[in-house]
Structure 1
Amino acid sequence: MKYPKQATCSPHFMPALTQQRTDGYKPFLFLFCLFALAWITLLLFAGGMTTSIQAGMAFLDWPLSNGSINPDGWLSESDKMAEHSHRLLGMKIGLLSLGLLLWTYLRESRKWVRTLARILVWVVILQGVLGGSRVRFDQLNIMSDHNMLAQSFAVMHACGAMVVLGLLVALTLANTRRWIEGRAGLDVVLPTGVKRWGIAATITLFLQILVGAIMRHAGAGLAIATFPLASSNSLIPAYWNFGVSIHFAHRVGAVIVTAVLLIFLGKVWGSPAAKRALGYGALVLALILGLQIFLGALTIWTVKNPYAATLHQLVGAFLLASTWGLTFLAHHSGRATNSPHSN
């Protein structure tokens, strides 16, 4: 007795999907990466504004908002608009990350680039879970006498956003013509000092953003209400509590970040090869640093104006992204991207 053959997936089906993989420059993929960076900029602004105006609990449910994806009043009430637009933009970043994953899987022959795209999707999913946990475990929902758990999720959510941004920056740079074809200085090996101080600056900035996130979500942005002095005729606060301590730590961190970034910039400008490869980026980084210092002061001087505070948070993300981008480029310099061993 003959049995009908069971339908099976052809062993040639999966290779057929990926047969157009190349390691060459793909202009439309690069433009898609830029589009994703533009969207995450809007997402970071919406998230920062949500925190600045304390609208994180405008809706007590998640993932829906008042049980709907189009809740009443979200276009007319500022707290609902901030929180719901943040959720919608987060959803769009999720869709864009899936698009990047599919695109790189089908067309990109560099294995490490495909791996970055996979990691991006998982981190974006984790970000959604952290944001939802911040709402679900708020004291308004769990009826606790403190909000430490929700604030912890909020801080992790803020730091996770920086990881998503960093992954998108890496993917964007990896898909530039300059990276793929080794143009404009990327064909030489840069000094070790540039690479090491780039890593140090990136880590220092991430830790500073962590401290800033703790300060913002603890409501300590004005725990020290004057700048540059912390009390009358002194840089040191006159009294201490948790809010004052975390705020003062953020100010001290700003000094450390500035020093480390200036050393990094000095290493870049002090090397002819590094200046040729990264000089314009270093100049942009210096300008962003100056703007960030001004916005930090403006946040205090305007008694934490929500736009000043949000822009301070957003430009801080730009500062981290720029530093990470230059460091990423520095470590790529001198490598033959089109060699058979580069995948």
Structure 2
Amino acid sequence: MPALTHKRSPDYKPFCFLFCIFALCWITALLFAGGMTTSIKAGMAFLDWPLSNGSINPEGWRTESDKMAEHSHRLLGMKIGLLSIVLFLWTYLRESRAWVRTLARVLVLVVILQGVLGGSRVRFDQLNIMSENNLLAQSFAVMHACGAMVVLGILVALTLANTRRWIEGPPSERSPCPPGVKRWGIAATLAIFLQILVGAIMRHADAGLAIPSFPMASSGSLLPAYWNFDVSIHFAHRIGALLVTAILLIFLGKIWGSPSAKQTLSYGVLLVSAILGLQIFLGALTIWTAKNPYAATTHHLVGAFLLASTWALTFLAHHPQQSTTLR
């Protein structure tokens, strides 16, 4: 084994960085395909897994929208699996930073778990197990949706860890980010993740239009006229959006108010602010268009972007030398 790893180094590896960017592009496509599959209710276009109608290339999957959405999602998931294995081998052979190698190893494990969760959502659907309700399959679907965010977060961290500025940037003459910036960054990241969790429950419960108007929940009122599970989870998602916005604005304000943090993360603040505004608009648009699948899927995808960019700022804020910048 030492013969295979003797070329390990902490140096900047441009091709590894570009490969991480390549993987991020593919996971963006995967997230869109997964979101569209949920939006058009195509998750059970095939009743079997890991094959689709007993085949790797099932007949008619390119011509039927539900089969195209689901099978594309499966193929892209397989692609991410292969990319994560390549990234793991690359870092194992060439990367001397132990924590980066650990991240790559965890990425492979989480991607495998993602595949199992996605397959369980299909295999344990009530159409397959003849159950009275579909709670078990929906639970796997929600965990699968949240797992996708974990995979995205690990890929973002690996990409940032492989940038030239993270590796070779000169130590800053300014002081590191204050603890408040780091704490609020973690809080904002967790808040967005929990919001995505609530959103996933809402989407898989088909409660996206349980409250069919926006911003009012009922005639002349911000509160729903009646309550049930669908209305409650939908209303919780709206309240969550307000909480996420407040926490995120505090985090961005902490960065802007700190000279050292503003110097290195100012462009990131503008980017996250723009994504936040777009996400709020897309949430409203999803209601106004009666859950148009493209509006709903884009809302899902931009939510992932908001999580990824907020996590990126938080990750950068924890750089020990404060040498990384988004400029």
Whether these two folds match at TM > 0.5 is: yes
| 1:190–1:274 Cα contact (<8 Å) kept | yes
Instruction: Pick the aligned partner of 1:324 from 303, 308, 311.
Output: 311
Residue equivalent to 1:130: 117
Query: Does residue 308 in structure 1 map to residue 298 in structure 2?
Result: no
Of 57, 80, 91, 2:44 maps to 57
- Opposite residue 29 of structure 1, the aligned amino acid is C
Matched residues in 1 for 2:154 and 2:315: separation? 11
Counterpart-to-counterpart distance in 1, 2:279 and 2:323: 36
Task: For 1:1-343, list aligned pairs within 5 A.
Answer: 14-183=1-170, 188-334=175-321
2:260 partner amino acid = A
After superposition, the C-alpha distances for 1:267-290 in whole angstroms (9 at most, x for unaligned) are: 011111101111101110000000
| Partners of 1:156 and 1:187 in 2: CA distance | 42
* Contact 2:166 2:323 survives alignment (8 Å): no
Structure 2, unpaired ranges of 5+: none
The 2-side partners of 1:214 and 1:282 are apart by 29
Please tell me the residue identity of whatever aligns with 1:295.
Answer: L
Residues 68, 184 of structure 1: alpha-carbon distance in 2 compared, 3 angstrom cutoff: farther
Q: Identity of aligned pairs, percent? A: 80
Taking the aligned partners of 1:70 and 1:204, their CA distance within structure 2 comes to 40
Q: Is the 8 A contact 1:137 1:149 kept in 2?
A: yes
Match of 1:3 in 2: none
Q: Identify if the C-alpha distance between structure 1 residues 33 and 186 changes in structure 2 by more than 3 Å, giving closer, same or farther.
A: farther
Q: Deviations over 1:89-133 (max 9, x none)?
A: 000000000000000000000000000000000000000000000
> Please, what TM-score do these two structures have when normalized by structure 1?
0.93
- Following the alignment from structure 1 to structure 2, what is the Cα–Cα distance between the partners of residues 55 and 106? 40
Give the Cα separation in 2 of the matches to 1:238 and 1:87: 40
Give yes or no for contact 2:172–2:322 (8 Å, CA) kept in 1. Answer: no
For residue 332 of structure 1, report the CA deviation from its aligned partner: 1.1
Structure 1 runs not aligned, ≥5 long: 1-13, 338-343
In the TM superposition, what whole-angstrom CA distance separates every residue of 1:284-312 from its partner, at most 9, and x where no partner exists? Answer: 00000000000000000000000000000
TM-score by length of 2: 0.97
Following TM superposition, by how much is the alpha carbon of 1:334 offset from its aligned partner in structure 2, in angstroms? 2.3
Quick one: distance in 2 between partners of 1:186 and 1:318?
31
Report which of the two structures shows the higher radius of gyration computed on alpha carbons.
1
Task: Tell me how far apart the structure 1 counterparts of residues 323 and 301 of structure 2 sit (CA, whole Å).
Answer: 35
Question: C-alpha separation between the residues in 2 aligned to 1:321 and 1:237?
Answer: 32
The question of whether the paired residues in 2 share the 8 Å contact of 1:185 and 1:333 is answered with: no
CA 1:336–1:53: 2 relative to 1, 3 Å? closer
In the comparison of the two structures, how many residue pairs are matched?
A: 324
- Write out per-residue CA displacement over residues 152-203 of structure 1, whole angstroms, 9 at most, x where no aligned residue: 0000000000000000000000000010013595974111111000000000
For residues 73-103 of structure 1, the C-alpha deviation after alignment (integer angstroms, 9 at most, x for no partner) is 1000000000000000000000000000000
Find the aligned partners of 2:159 and 2:37 in 1 and give their Cα distance: 27
Cα RMSD over matched residues? 1.4
